[in-house]
């Protein structure tokens, strides 16, 4: 029942056509007859009234933030349902025969609301990765793959493919962390903890080659940070 209530409430909040309402009240115009016919802030700006355009942008962002934040506090397990329904409400509003805006501003509001949750999840995952690497070695060993001196035999094609895939995913998570920090979306203390975790994995000599492979898909900035913070001591 909670799923249904959260979904409907979030959809209805997201479906409020602020662009249409504001232009009707203050400009006595129907935004659907102007420019692209879209009810979003970009098209409202085409009316020439920047104040109404920016107010539409602010309200379209806010109508996503309100339900998502409320659900995050009271029903955290339903936060992604609330986010999706608020977005669908803007794009397919029932009041306008399901012809709404593109959802850019509403999506921004959703991101503002859920990024802290994503950061917490990624932080937990990244700080536990060294343990996960040990666990995956145990799993691979139990499945009969070749293990030599507690390290994978990377000459074995199956072993190498599994390890490369895993390490690629690991460094894509760190790449996301790097971009969030660069955009100012991550606390400095959290970022420093992630650098420590990254360095621990980067310095695992048994994974030197697969780490090099995975990092070849990462940004130069992330690779430079790893070098600045000690580099890889492996021969």
Give tens-digit pLDDT for 195-233: 888 888 888 777 777 777 777 777 788 888 887 765 556
Mean pLDDT within 3-12? 93
Quote the CA–CA distance of 221 and 225 in Å, as a whole number.
Answer: 6
Question: 63 vs 114, which has greater pLDDT?
Answer: 63
Residue with the larger pLDDT of the pair 72 and 126: 72
- CB neighbour list of residue 47: distance below 8 Å, 6 or more residues apart: 23, 27, 29, 31, 34, 53
Q: Which of 3-12, 142-151, 180-189 has the lowest mean pLDDT?
A: 142-151
Q: Is the pLDDT of residue 147 over 50?
A: no
Which DSSP string do the residues of 179-233 spell out, in sequence order?
A: HHHHTT-S-HHHHHHHHHHHHHHHT-GGGHHHHHHHHTTS-HHHHHHHHHTT---
d(Cα 177, Cα 29) in Å, to the nearest integer? 45
Average confidence score pLDDT of the chain: 79
Percent of the chain with pLDDT over 90: 29
Annotate 85-103 with b (16+ C-beta within 10 A) or e (fewer).
bbbbbbbbbeeeeeebbbb
| Averaged pLDDT for residues 59-70 | 93
Taking 3-state DSSP, the helix, strand and coil percentages for the chain, each rounded to the nearest 5, stand at 75, 0, 25
pLDDT at residue 134, as a whole number: 56
Average pLDDT over residues 47-74: 91
The pLDDT of residue 146 = 43
The yes-or-no verdict on residue 153 having pLDDT over 70 is no
Q: Where are the domains of the chain?
A: 2-114, 128-228
pLDDT of residue 149: 39
Hey, is 149 helix, strand or coil? coil
Q: Which residue has the higher pLDDT, 132 or 178?
A: 178
- 66-123 tens-digit pLDDT: 999 999 888 888 888 999 999 999 999 999 999 888 888 898 888 888 776 555 555 5
State the Cα–Cα distance between residues 44 and 56, nearest whole angstrom: 8
User: Could you tell me which residue, 152 or 44, shows the higher pLDDT?
Assistant: 44
Residues of the chain above pLDDT 70, percent? 78
Rg of the chain's alpha carbons, rounded to an integer?
24
């Amino acid at each position: 029942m909670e799923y249904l209530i959260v979904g409907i409430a979030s959809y209805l909040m997201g479906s409020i056509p602020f662009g249409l309402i504001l232009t009707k009240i203050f400009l006595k115009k129907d935004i659907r007859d102007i420019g692209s016919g879209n009810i979003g802030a970009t098209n409202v700006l085409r009316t020439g009234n920047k104040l109404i355009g920016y107010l539409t942008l602010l309200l379209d962002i806010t109508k996503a933030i309100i339900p998502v934040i409320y659900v995050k506090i009271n029903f955290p397990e339903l936060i992604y349902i609330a986010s999706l329904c608020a977005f669908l409400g803007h794009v397919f509003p029932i009041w306008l025969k399901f012809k709404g805006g593109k959802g850019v501003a509403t999506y921004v509001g959703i991101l503002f609301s859920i990024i802290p949750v994503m950061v917490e999840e990624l932080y937990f995952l990244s700080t536990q990765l060294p343990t996960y690497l040990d666990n995956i070695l145990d799993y691979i060993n139990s499945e009969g793959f070749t293990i030599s001196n507690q390290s994978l035999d990377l000459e074995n094609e199956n072993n190498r493919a599994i390890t490369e895939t895993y390490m690629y995913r690991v460094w894509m998570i760190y790449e996301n962390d790097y971009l969030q920090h660069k955009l100012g979306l991550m606390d400095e203390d959290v970022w420093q903890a992630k650098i420590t975790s990254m360095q621990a994995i980067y310095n695992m000599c048994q994974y030197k080659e697969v780490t090099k492979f995975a990092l070849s898909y990462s940004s130069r900035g992330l690779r430079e940070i790893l070098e600045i913070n000690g580099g890889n001591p492996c021969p």
